[in-house]
Structure 1
């Protein structure tokens, strides 16, 4: 949610009159540039917008079609308790105002005449959002402090590990926004985590999941990561993060949206892992993660305390007082920690604080000492000694928690101070945490130095969208100086058509963590150039930010255009060559037909078949050359529809097709149809009783789809009008006086005695009538399979090679073309067995398109 102070505020205005809604939105945005106003014309549309988009404030007219403003307010409050809601009524009514406020409206504002009412409404929107954000932040701090306090109190009372497990899970699961908490035991032998305590909305969740700590899919979640790395692990987006795939369905059924796993380790002992689930995404910010990490250390130390109690009764008394003061963890923390009571006497202090402030003695020597005197004794280390002391007094008086407050030291170092009020058994107290952040700030400077020296432009902008950092390369690339850059936003660099997409892209980066895309930028002199941007969500100088590495891809685009021109020239060359090759072959065909009128020779048939094969080779080689080009005419294609259309364009005889797929892919329609036709033709031709001869049988019995093949098929089956052709037809039907012709006639009518001739005879007689071709779906693609003889394992890697064919009359380019089309779409293809023993071609890495 935007804070309302200088940040963009997203408003949803609801009015059944779309023209009035648009006009109001325009006036509000004109009244305050921070406002970005969306509109809805019905209650249903408004509620859907709240689900799909982050809305900071909802403004509703009092008459919205089927519902009035109060009914919309009631529906909104069912799921959005804290969303600011302003009723913008047509006419003033004290009763309506009282009813609206009583129902949970933030404000009732009657409409008036004039433009001034929109300025008033804009101010009220920003004020409401600011108040809501402040309330939300304060509530979060109070909630976390309350959870930590309750757990610490429970730990102090606990006498067994079971007590700790049950109390921790119960307290955490009862606090918003948490829904469920459980503690698991790690078994190093089996690399599994077994639950031992839980509380909250569980409903047998733990019975349905398996969690491991090895390098497998079930070990890549927060729990496995926390155990392996020994530190807190967070997954902020259960619905969208692929790492949560093994557990996503049962988690979403129970309303889990984000998860954190905290290892419960003390020294060399692993006591378990605490898992916490929240009902919203991004529930664990940096502050909450740090508290959970500290809480894990506190719980682990409590386990350790109980172990010590069982071994030594004398230590039990010491640990009880230490637990009550929340000081048992001081020695395990990397920060300097001091606790004081209500009278400002030292209750406990750790060695890290002594080291940090270079104090003499040991922690035991200052217990009971005056904290005011101690603060004054070290104040001289800071650039503002009086301010150091007075700020401590101010925090004690207000008892407001503070985190990571920067303190400058005279020697150039930087300390950070955090404060928490304590509720002790004997009264109030105060907890101080100090850390030296000089190294971290130095690392930030080193990082900036690295970014500064990069050859690519580096731009970093914060949540307010203004640039926080630009490197030298960016200044040189764009022509702006650093001061100009720091007053600009990403939208100022994009050309107008692209600038409108900046906000959407920024939100995707924040949601997904990173994004790579291409756009067009404009420099200071007005020139435009294409760029590739690699953007990532980071923390920069301690704040959330977006880091963008921008590369000028002008040269790459020029190379792509040159490559495209080369491909076009190659395509033109291939077309010319194929044309020049076809012409003499077509002439030769005509000459053979004329020669048949003068003489009867088997050599003419062989020559005709050779020419036919040459023409087929030209067609397939030209298709193959073009099939490898990158698919460019991309569009949504219905697989079921194009499969049936492709089947109709193939000579399928009596073969059957079963289309068992209902999906749409993004592809080149013409190439996809060619791919399917080739697979169908392959299945029909090789799916007869002989895997080698179906194509020839089809041509002889039914005729090929090729005009050239059709002519020969007609001649064999029906006879030619040419006397010499008629003679050949008679020879085929009745037997020729030539032994060779007679043999061919016998082969066609009765089948040859040779195995290969017999197979061709079977193919002619039976064709592919017993073949069923199936088109089905895969999780990431689709398949085409038949129930024919299949493809032997030893040939599966060869079938896609250009020219490979088990049929002596085939060109061997059909499946090579299929592979080229698949690769042009960036897909993959493999051959395997079908369900009924035939050949199955699986095409994967396909991107499906959602249907509108």
Structure 2
């Protein structure tokens, strides 16, 4: 029977989720009984199936482990440049679509819920296969006409199925270089072809005998002169009156010189058609002088112009003045068919808004190498470039920080550390990145960090937490650090990781321990003094207070004041006054003497307060205060 568009359609569906391939296969075969769906769960398995028996169409997911859908497409295109390939993916973005188009995808479709998406997929498969079959049939007919009429690079043969004798026409004898040999055995004829093609040719002959259908294919002819030719052959069964197939007749067409050029042209035309009709990116076609010829709807949305408004206009009208030199150089290279394929520049919309766009350009040349037209696809990357600039600024700021900074991904692995962290722990950056905090922390510290992270991720958790950990560097003594940690921004429930700083507080903790020891030694002496005494660190936290101070403000003896601020122990008015006094000392680095009135549980009382800074290596690390009760003196003065 003649070549038919109604024969079975072999579909290979590649997706790492078997439930999706099963569901898709069921819907497709239910939608059209011509569909025969074969499945594979990886790109490697898909390539094996294609090499064993190429299907009529490949449907592939994008996001697969190992080899993703784009890499799979590129591998298929290396061996099967015309095989219909549809990217059917749940991950839809302009970047994925752009990469797919560049790799030569036939169609691009996002997954969705409902049977409508499978109906649409079935329709896309039918269209892709129909387009390819019609193109191939038209190619053969056109080749036969041209070769017969002009070149004569066509020939015929007739195979007697009983004797396996092949009778050759004059055209065939000319093609194989045996002008005086009118017939040969099938075995001898098969030896004229590439060894890898002989089994396939025999299989095709057997299939024509079995199915009584006309078949065609292209094989590599090696006539013996050291040259290899491509032969496009059509084989037709001859049925005698008795209903038996007694002969096979065929026509061979030498398509060597035309095949590569026409295949490239067909592939380019398919890509450019998809480029305009389906691309989520902006698409523009330019003439040989780089003036607008046409543009798609997305390009109109990005630039704010209609196609009619820009048709015939120069590229300069949409490019910011400062960028015209850069773009002009790229245009010149494109018109010379010498590069300029990728450019990022600022464009100007119709409303005057300046935006940043990324352009990918492709030149179409004629047989003489002259530029005929130029196609561009582009997207608005203003936000991306701004984020890139902000990220560079943030990284500059982070590198300038004196604290160690780290970023962990959702798996708890280091993805970024600044120079200070590298210096703190003593490991090189390559060792740290990709490793987990267990490299520098013991199990207890790791568990503490995980607990704090759990607090951050809870619905009512804080935005950041600060806790103390011990870090174990590659060499040297353990380092006591304050870990200030938060989570990276994320949408929905998809946790992206955490970020934090490590501040070395080893010396600070040692000083505080020494201070507490000294304080304890002086406790007995100081508690006997009839004045309030205290020490507060730079975080305004109490390190010490004597008994008089406790009694004055009614603070119980069993109250642990270490680490507590004035606001935790006193009224807001008193706490604010104490903090202001300490701040004066930190700013002036000198003793402060104040007469002040303080409201206590025994009423208003007058104090003469002296606060002095405590230094360590030239830095103020705490304040020490003594307040003498002068209430009786003030009352006496008032009576006088």
TM-score normalised by the chain length of structure 1: 0.22
Higher strand share: 2
